[in-house]
Amino acid sequence: MPILHAYDGTELAYRLLGEGVPLICLPGGPMRAGGYLGDLGGLSARRQLVVLDLRGTGESAVPDDPSTYRRDRLVDDVEALREHLGQERVDLLAHSASAGLAALYAARHPQRLRSLVLIAPGTRAVGTEVTGQDRRGAGELRRDEPRYAAGRGAPEATRPGRDAGEVTSAAEPFTHGRRGAHAATTSGQTDSGAARVHCRDGAFDPTATAAALRDVTAPVLVLAGEYDGGPTPDRAAELAALFPNAEFAVQRGAAHYPWLDDPGAFVRTVEAFLDPDVLSVQAGGIRLAHRAWGDPSAPPVVLVHGRCGDSRTWTRIAGHLADAHRVYAFDFRGHGLSDWPGRYSFELFRDDLHAFLEARNLAGATVVGHSMGAAAACLLAEREPGLIGRLVLEEPPPPFPLDPPRGPAERPDEELDFDWPVVSSTDAQLNEPDPEWWGRIGSITAPTLVIGGGPASRIAQRGLARMAERIPRGRFVTIDAGHLVHTGRPDEFLAELRAFGLA
């Protein structure tokens, strides 16, 4: 393992996992070795994880002066690691008890912080104590689980600061959202003597720390587990509220180790936050990741991707439109870096688009949708006349039963950038669409351009023409490109948008 020397000469060890921009990772405990973090659910595939063993834990040396275990003094070790890595500013991730250490670092070195990620964060450093009622309340959320009865009397065993080996099998349901995840966390060890010094009197000045955090301008993500009792989502939200530029997220079905309970959900949330080109909004209870281009004051255009795609499919088109527009492209639920809740339908995608427009205050925007996204936009324009200013439907599936109907699809073996149930759910609706979709299409009031891909498309072009005829202000054009018009013939696609009135 690589080694650096702290300010007092103590040797500190750290692990390097993956490649890319470094992300310093501080383990919890307190004073627990960093091995239990693993690769944080696969986050190392996106970033280089720099996992520090705090002094006296794991492969790091025991200091000559035990008082240096105190949390406020460990801030200097984090700063030494930053200097050792040669980074002017750092991305910092902290789990559980080390959130307090990260908060102290942010308060003391705000200019050295590029971003901060706090996972199931301890809140003692800012004066918020996790109570027994918090832990009991978290346990009550799981009262219907068979495991709950056996562990009902043991929520106190899950309080932050307890070593994984001390958590009894009865208390395990309160610490992990997924059965079997506990075993994966037992490899780390906590130095109980160091942990006592870590929280000794003088380590905290909650009033001063909370005040200092209000001056931290770096973006902050606070991620809580739905079933965590220490902290509960409410306590974690109180911490997030102290930062002026914080994003708060709750991982459903997770407890204190969210990267074990659902690695995919954890990585998507953290990756979206760490990517400077990706933004997120909470829309209708779903976190929707999105990208934006152009002057924020320019007329808005919202680009909506098709099934199994994501916002990146619009990059080239967005770059051109951004000369005269503020352009947004978001990932639907179950796609890309947005939440994957497991339930999907055209109506839910419609609701995602509606919630996104409301969350970003985009009433009257031009909406350009491809395939599934076009269908969602069409349903929204039917339901909310006047919400969309102009509407472009690229290769939408016409609201008529497929002939022949689609049979069961077989999932590919490779890792997917979308949630596979999207396919089966939407195929069922394409085979038997709701008759109301066609019945209400005449209620669309927005000027509408329907773009077909011509004979090479798998979409029945006659159906698209019928859609355009039924929409009072509709027009149908053909670009001989197949189904992926905006990627296959981008110049011609843009020309039709300009003819439709987009600069």
The three-state secondary structure class of 450 is strand
* Strand intervals (E) in 173-245: 220-225
Split at pLDDT 50, 70, 90, the class of 138 is confident
pLDDT of residue 165: 41
Which of 471, 299, 304, 293 is closest to 372 using CA atoms? 304
The pLDDT score that the predictor gives to residue 134 is: 79
Query: If DSSP codes are grouped into helix, strand and coil, which group holds residue 201?
Result: coil
Mean pLDDT over residues 109-128, rounded?
Answer: 94
pLDDT band at 161 (very low <50, low <70, confident <90, very high): very low
Cα gap 121→66, rounded to integer Å: 25
State residue 145's pLDDT score. 73
Which position has the higher pLDDT, 111 or 203? Answer: 111
What length does the chain have? 503
Looking at residue 477, the DSSP 8-state letter turns out to be E
Say what the pLDDT of residue 195 is.
86
pLDDT for position 142: 75
Mean pLDDT value of segment 345-353: 98
Q: Which helix (H) or strand (E) holds 172?
A: helix 172-175
Q: Where residue 434 falls among pLDDT bands split at 50, 70, 90?
A: very high
Looking at per-residue confidence, does 204 or 67 come out higher? Answer: 67
Residue 152 has pLDDT above 70, yes or no: no
pLDDT digits (tens, 9 = 90+) for 34-69: 999 999 999 999 999 999 999 999 999 999 999 999
In the predicted model, is pLDDT for residue 284 greater than 80? Answer: yes
The residue type at 168: T
Collapse the DSSP code of 291 into the 3-class scheme (helix H, G, I; strand E, B; otherwise coil) and give the result. strand
pLDDT at 154: 55
Does the pLDDT of residue 160 top 70, yes or no?
no
The answer on pLDDT for 177 being more than 70 is no
Return the pLDDT at 302: 98
pLDDT score of 147 more than 80: no
State the average pLDDT for the chain.
91
What is the secondary structure of 288-342 as a DSSP string? Answer: EEEEEES-TTSPEEEEE--TT--GGGGHHHHHHHTTTSEEEEEPPTTBTTS---S
Whole-structure pTM value: 0.89
Q: Indicate if the pLDDT at residue 81 is higher than 60.
A: yes
Q: Mean pLDDT lowest for which of 121-135, 146-160, 222-236?
A: 146-160
Half-sphere exposure of 96 (CA within 13 A, CB side): 26
Confidence band, pLDDT 50/70/90 cuts, at residue 189:
low
For the segment 165-175, the average pLDDT, to the nearest whole number, is 51
pLDDT at 492 > cutoff 60: yes
Under the banding of pLDDT at 50, 70 and 90, the label for residue 258 is: very high
pLDDT of residue 201: 75
- Cα dist. 264→189, 269, 341 in Å? 26, 9, 11
Q: Which of 15-19, 155-159, 314-318 has the lowest mean pLDDT?
A: 155-159
Q: What's the CA gap between 164 and 167, in Å, rounded?
A: 5
Q: Which of 190-204, 215-229, 335-349, 371-385 has the lowest mean pLDDT?
A: 190-204
d(CA 396, CA 389): 18
What percent of the chain has pLDDT above 70?
A: 91
How far apart, in whole angstroms, are the C-alpha atoms of residue 354 and residue 181? 37
Tell me what pLDDT residue 169 has. Answer: 46
Record the tokens describing residue 459, joined without a space: 């979409």
